[in-house]
């Protein structure tokens, strides 16, 4: 009968009210009632202080569930604002790799304050994981696994699992890992084989010997390649002396891979220097975006200076000014298509960074055909508009040639950048457009200056 309150259609307002009133039961009830999508959306509306206040009132277990859902930067901001004791309680509820991920996003001072309040096992596990780069095998692995000595029998292992059923409940147990006296990896025992085995069989006789494993220091690309090659659900991670230190799950590898593809998409559009969310401070967002824009404006000024060299030609045939931005933009489009195909072929492994000649030939064919098509189109437009065939020929030939230039540069630049050890997703775009702009402006204006008599006949002047 009453009007629905604003806070019912906007749950974050209700979250805020309840947090301000320190109404812990009310908050728990609300958070449970929202679906995940509403929780993420509502938390995004809160300030970091409000977020941390809500988490504190929710209690460690529910707070950990929410933390697991939020974008990494929102989760880290909230944890940073919490008293270290409360933060440590929440971290205890997370899986080891999530925990390390989150602490890795904090200032080292904040992280240390929280670890000082954590259990020694948790602190050790986090410090161990943080020693590895975040996207290496060691940075992606979890430290929750079941290891048994090779002298145990099947029955003893089943007994061990039964006794510790609560501790292992949250582990994703599909394999039991078999280790030697110094913790060195000896084999893996699939749970299925354990189930089907006679109880008095020794683990050593059942296990798969010399199993595939990966060094903790292995970089991301090596990890991806290994999981591509094999259907592992998880693989043991070892340190010097084959010592077992963790398990790398496909789930976490794939999450890292999705993250990389998304980062590449952001970079393709000029978001560099870290993920941006609009909840971040304006100054930070502005500064990060400017870091990219200021490089681009410098390159743009260089490219456009070609026009300055031909000002007189342009003034005499001012209709060309309409076509300069078209040729610049279309060449950028054609070149970016070639960049996309090169990035994809490099990622798939069907093209290698040294195959410049092969890639060029393949691009040149498409460049010739598309250059011809686009050149004819723009020549027709120019001819129809001004009734001047020479104008049509100048812009048509310039666009045709520059399309060929653009796909050549676009196809080759990612390969060259990869060979030089740079990230091709990041730098290919600006390099491409600078060269194609310069070349495009030069083609239009130099062709125009040699045919200026036909473009701007004295009678029309």
Q: Which residues of 264-289 are buried (b: 16+ CB within 10 A; e: fewer)?
A: eeebbeebbeeeeeebeeeeeeeebe
Minimum distance of a copy of itself from residue 172's CB (angstroms):
7
Q: Is 145 in the site for a copy of itself (CB under 8 A)?
A: no
Of 204 and 319, CB closest to a copy of itself = 319
- Say if CB 371 and CB 400 are below 8 A apart: yes
State which residue, 71 or 84, has the beta carbon closest to a copy of itself.
71
Residue 273 as a binder of a copy of itself (CB under 8 A): the answer is no
**Which residues in the 34-53 window bind a copy of itself by CB under 8 A?**
36-37, 40-41, 44
Within 10 angstroms of residue 123's Cβ, the number of other Cβ atoms is: 18
107: left (phi over 0), alpha (psi -120 to 50) or beta: beta
- Tell whether residue 248 is a contact of a copy of itself (CB under 8 A): no
Query: Closest Cα partner for 413 from 394, 396, 433, 393?
Result: 433
Q: Does the footprint of a copy of itself cover residue 433 (CB under 8 A)?
A: yes
d(CA 307, CA 289): 27
Q: How far is the CB of 146 from a copy of itself (least distance, A)?
A: 10
Q: Which span (127-135, 200-208, 240-248, 291-299) binds a copy of itself, by CB under 8 A?
A: 291-299
In the complex, minimum distance from the CB of residue 83 to a copy of itself, in angstroms, rounded to a whole number = 26
Query: Is residue 133 at the binding interface for a copy of itself, with CB under 8 A as the rule?
Result: no
Tell me the β-bridge partners of 190.
175
Q: Which two three-digit tokens encode residue 31?
A: 């958070």
Among the residue ranges 111-119, 179-187, 238-246, 262-270, the one whose residues contact a copy of itself (CB under 8 A): 262-270
Q: Are β-strands 208-209 and 243-249 bridged in parallel, bridged antiparallel, or unpaired?
A: unpaired
**How far is C-alpha 197 from the chain's CA centre?**
44
Identity of the residue, 65 or 112, whose beta carbon is nearer to a copy of itself in the bound complex: 65
Q: Contact with a copy of itself (CB under 8 A): which of 62, 74, 186, 418?
A: 74
**Rounded (5°) CA angle 371-373-377:** 110
Q: Counting contacts by CB under 8 A, is residue 223 touching a copy of itself?
A: no
Q: Minimum distance between the CB of residue 60 and a copy of itself, rounded to whole angstroms?
A: 18
Q: How far apart are CA 414 and CA 352, in angstroms?
A: 11
Check residue 208 for interaction with a copy of itself (CB under 8 A).
no
**Interface with a copy of itself in residues 147-186 (CB under 8 A):** 158, 161-162, 165, 168, 172-174
The edge-to-edge listing of strands for the beta sheet with 175-179 is 147-149, 175-179, 185-190, 208-209
Please identify, using beta-carbon distances, which residue of 57 and 399 lies nearer to a copy of itself: 399
| Residues numbered 300-339 forming contacts with a copy of itself, rule: CB under 8 A | 300-301, 303-305, 307-308, 311, 314-315, 318-319, 321-326, 328-330, 332-334, 336-337, 339
Q: Find the binding residues for a copy of itself in span 352-381 (CB under 8 A).
A: 352, 359, 362-363, 365-366, 369-370, 373-374, 377-378, 381
Min dist CB 165 to a copy of itself, Å, is 7
Distance between CA atoms of residues 383 and 3, nearest Å: 65
**Contact in structure between 161 and 112 (CB atoms under 8 Å):** no
Q: Which residue number, 131 or 192, has a Cβ lying nearer to a copy of itself?
A: 192
Token readout for 406 is 């653009």
Q: What is the size of the binding site for a copy of itself (CB under 8 A)?
A: 112
> Could you give the CA distance from residue 22 to residue 141 in angstroms, rounded to a whole number?
38
Pick the piece of the chain touching a copy of itself (CB under 8 A) from 83-91, 111-119, 209-217, 340-348.
340-348
Min dist. Cβ of residue 217 to a copy of itself (A): 20
DSSP 112-126: HHHHHTS-HHHHHHH
Compose the 183-202 pattern: x for residues touching a copy of itself by CB under 8 A, - for all others.
--------xx-xxx------
Decide: is 6 part of the binding site for a copy of itself (CB under 8 A).
no
Alpha carbon of residue 394 to chain centroid: 43
């Amino acid at each position: 009968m009453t009007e629905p309150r604003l806070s019912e259609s906007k749950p974050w307002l209700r979250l805020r009210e309840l947090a301000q009133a320190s109404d812990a039961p009310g908050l728990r009830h609300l958070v449970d009632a929202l679906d995940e999508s509403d929780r993420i959306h509502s938390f995004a509306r809160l300030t970091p202080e409000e977020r941390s206040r809500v988490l504190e009132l929710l209690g460690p277990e529910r707070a950990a569930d929410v933390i697991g859902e939020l974008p990494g930067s929102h989760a880290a901001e909230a944890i940073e604002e919490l008293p270290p004791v409360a933060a440590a309680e929440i971290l205890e509820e997370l899986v080891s790799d999530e925990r390390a991920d989150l602490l890795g996003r904090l200032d080292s001072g904040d992280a240390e304050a929280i670890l000082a309040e954590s259990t020694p096992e948790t602190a050790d596990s986090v410090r161990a994981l943080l020693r590895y780069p975040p996207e290496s095998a060691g940075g992606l692995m979890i430290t929750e696994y079941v290891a048994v000595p090779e002298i145990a029998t099947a029955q003893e292992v089943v007994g061990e699992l039964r006794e510790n059923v609560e501790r292992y409940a949250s582990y994703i147990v599909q394999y039991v890992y078999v280790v030697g006296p110094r913790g060195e990896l000896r084999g893996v025992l699939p749970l299925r084989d354990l189930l089907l085995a006679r109880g008095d069989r020794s683990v050593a006789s059942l296990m798969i010997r010399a199993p595939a494993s990966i060094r903790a220091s292995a970089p991301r690309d090596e990890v991806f390649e290994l999981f591509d090659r094999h259907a592992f659900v998880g693989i043991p991670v070892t340190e010097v002396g084959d010592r077992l230190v963790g398990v790398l799950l496909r789930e976490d590898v794939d999450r890292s891979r999705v993250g990389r593809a998304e980062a590449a998409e952001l970079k393709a559009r000029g978001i560099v220097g870290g993920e941006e969310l609009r909840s971040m401070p304006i100054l930070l967002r502005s500064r990060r975006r400017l870091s990219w824009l200021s490089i681009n404006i410098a390159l743009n000024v260089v490219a456009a200076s070609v026009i300055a060299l031909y000002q007189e030609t342009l003034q005499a045939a001012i209709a060309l000014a309409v076509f300069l931005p078209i040729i610049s933009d279309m060449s950028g489009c054609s070149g970016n298509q070639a960049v996309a195909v090169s990035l994809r072929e490099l990622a798939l492994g069907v093209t290698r960074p040294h195959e410049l000649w092969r890639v060029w030939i393949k691009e040149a064919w498409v460049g010739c055909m598309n250059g011809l098509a686009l050149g004819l189109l723009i020549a027709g437009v120019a001819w129809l508009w001004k009734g001047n065939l020479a104008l049509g020929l100048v812009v048509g030939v310039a666009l045709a040639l520059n399309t060929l230039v653009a796909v050549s540069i676009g196809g080759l630049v990612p390969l060259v950048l990869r060979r030089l050890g740079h990230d091709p997703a990041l730098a290919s775009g600006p390099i491409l457009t600078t060269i194609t702009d310069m070349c495009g402006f030069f083609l239009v204006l130099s062709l125009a200056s040699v045919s200026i008599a036909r473009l701007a006949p004295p009678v029309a002047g």
